[in-house]
Amino acid sequence: MLETKYRPLADLTLLADNPRQIQDADFKKLCTSIQAHPDYFEARPCILSDRTGELVIIAGNMRYRAAKQLGLAQIPMVLMPALTVEREREIVIRDNVSNGDWSWDDLANGDWPDAATLNEWGVNVPKEWGAEQELPSAKEDYSDKIGAGLLQVVVECLTERDQELLFNKLTEEGYQCKLLTL
């Protein structure tokens, strides 16, 4: 059975080619969350691999960075020994995949917090609802407010990297996006 242990930050190595990134606003939210709720951080420890002889973080690199920014000396970790490269890669991706979708109807009509609180907790509430407003019911018809048919916005990016960053940001905010190269 795997065991959670606290390990000094100095003993840990970040994943060199970590494909996951975090924007400044989200990083600040993460730091605030770790500082305000250390029990949740402990319940969701980072995952280490020792395959290379070093203790490499394969899940939780952003939490490590936030802990370092906050001046923490050690953080909760679980070591998964003797992993293959393929298994490490799988864990890196699986740890960062968000499975499932929010039921906006349940959030709007159930006993859930307002949009601002959900946003603070990491739910990307659609901007048109406003972080200060109550969640609208998903059963309401907004077609008279937004017009009929499909609405599109075309954005030109100078680099593939800019395109990828914008795509990720918009999809995380709940927009339906497609990548096109013209």
Strand 74-79 versus strand 4-8 pairing type: antiparallel
For the chain, which ranges sit under pLDDT 70?
127-151, 181-182
Provide the pLDDT for residue 144: 52
Instruction: Domain count for the chain, please give it.
Output: 3
Instruction: Using DSSP, state whether 13 is helix, strand or coil.
Output: strand
Return the H-helix or E-strand segment holding 49.
strand 46-49
Instruction: Using DSSP, state whether 135 is helix, strand or coil.
Output: coil
Q: How does 115-154 read in b/e, with b if 16+ C-beta sit within 10 Å?
A: beebbeeeebbeeebeeeeebbeeeeeeeeeeeeeeeeee
Residues 35-57: tens digit of each pLDDT: 999 999 999 999 999 999 999 99
Residues 8 and 92 in one domain: yes
Give the CA dihedral 72, 78, 81, 86, nearest 10 degrees.
-90
pTM > 0.85: yes or no: no
Provide the pLDDT for residue 149: 55
Residues 75 and 114 in one domain: no
Provide the pLDDT for residue 50: 97
CATH number of the domain bearing residue 56:
3.90.1530.10
Residues 87 and 106 in one domain: no
- Domain hosting residue 132, numbered range: 100-146
Q: In terms of C-beta density within 10 A (0-12 exposed, 13-18 middle, 19 or more buried), how is residue 58 classed?
A: buried
Residues 83 and 13 in one domain: yes
Residues 45 and 9 in one domain: yes
